[in-house]
Amino acid sequence: MPISTPAPRPSVCIVGATGYAGQELLRLLGGHPLVGPVTTAPSREGVAAIPADAQWIFLATPAETSAELAGPLVARGQRVIDLSGAHRAGDPIKHRAAYGFEHPHPAALAQAVYGFDAPADVLQQAGLIANPGCYANALLSALVPLQAAGVLAPGAVVDATGISGVSGAGRNPTERTMYMYVAENLAPYRTGRAHQHLVEVEGRAGVHLLFVPLVAPLRRGMLVSGSADVAPWLARNPGAPLPNLTLAGDPLWLQVPAAPDVLAVAEQNTVQVHYFLDAAAGRVQFVSVIDNLLRGAASHAVYNLNLACGWPALTGLQVGRNHD
């Protein structure tokens, strides 16, 4: 019998590996059993500095940088997973409103697949995958299962508060991320309609989101809590409990019986979600927690890589803690 030759492992390049999410990517991909050589490249030197022979490029770069790089990389025949917000909005008008700059490659923006819960067959055909934002990941992890079960109607009003660790602001220091500002403080930012993740939550879940984000004196971690209007479903199902909920078979999504805290998912790839149906108010309350650098960035990007390559979803990932 002829001896079968193992399929070659795809080569990977991380652009922006010095940032918090980039460092987590480097650790996860460096230990991934099906990934080939992992290299890094600087973002400031443009496409020319990124190896042309790398089959997958991970952009852990600011949105403006990713917007400049992704389109030309795809045109060069490489596949891209963008961890920034540069390709999440879907069209140039929504992108400009959310991110404050004109997209230099609108064709790439339209081509990108939003990688929150995209089916594996769609990801396998994608040249450019837009990884979801951290707040969007936590919120959609609570909302999409309700939507899939028919509990959450299109256009429903969702009222939520999000609390993020300081690492969510990135590695470059600012006055609002310094110890003297953050310590013993809880500070709202980008309130009203200003937060850039609204466009992807509303676009994917089809809801109207009222959102207040807060930064807390935490190194990492994220908690979102809120409630969603489910009065139409309750009117059709008086006295019924919530149906069984799931997130498209995602093994890293966990529904828990009591409201979780941030430490429950610290340095883990999972998301934990708790629901409470308040029939008198016509609403479902939810609490969702993630590690903002893992489920909210790097590990979800690796999860998308696994599905896009046709590998088992948890390859290179785990359900428990990453640093036991």
Q: Measure the CA–CA gap between 236 and 239, rounded to whole angstroms.
A: 10
Say if residues 228 and 156 touch (Cβ distance below 8 Å).
yes
Task: Kindly list the strands in the beta sheet with 12-15, ordered across the sheet, starting from the edge strand earlier in the chain.
Answer: 38-41, 12-15, 56-59, 79-82, 128-130, 113-114
Residues 6+ apart with CB under 8 A from 218: 164, 165, 166, 262
Q: What is the CA radius of gyration of the chain?
A: 20
User: What is the DSSP annotation of 271-288?
Assistant: EEEEEEEETTTTEEEEEE
Other beta carbons within 10 angstroms of residue 166's beta carbon come to 22
Nearest to 150 by CA among 206, 203, 72: 206
Burial of 275 (0-12, 13-18, 19+ CB in 10 A): buried
Q: Which two tokens stand for residue 115?
A: 């990688």
- Is residue 134 part of the annotated active site? The answer reads yes
Q: Which of 81, 134, 146, 182 is catalytic?
A: 134
Angle at 160 (CA atoms; ends 319, 113), nearest 5 degrees: 60
CA of residue 75 relative to chain centroid, distance = 24
Q: Measure the CA–CA gap between 155 and 279, rounded to whole angstroms.
A: 19
Query: Which amino acids are annotated catalytic?
Result: 134
